[in-house]
């Protein structure tokens, strides 16, 4: 017997995560996290000693 239920179209822009739901948001989050770590590294190295 054939399955006649319609297949949902796959949205290529969805990440499957609760947040961020789009790939653009995921890339922005990763880039912002990287920049934050670099700022913390520079600030703590400069003012830590």
- Domain positions in the chain are 21-49
User: Is the pLDDT at 38 greater than 90, yes or no?
Assistant: yes
d(CA 28, CA 32): 6
Residue 46 CA to residue 27 CA, distance in Å, equals: 29
Looking at residue 49, what is its pLDDT?
65
Residue 16: how many CB atoms within 10 A of its CB? 6
pTM as predicted? 0.67
Evaluate whether 23 touches 15 at the Cβ level (below 8 Å). Answer: yes
Task: For residue 2, give the DSSP letter.
Answer: -
pLDDT for position 1: 61
């Amino acid at each position: 017997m054939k399955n006649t239920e319609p297949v949902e179209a796959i949205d290529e822009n969805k990440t499957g995560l609760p947040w961020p739901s789009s790939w653009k948001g995921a890339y922005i989050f990763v880039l912002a996290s990287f920049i934050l770590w670099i700022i913390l590294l520079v600030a703590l190295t400069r003012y830590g000693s």
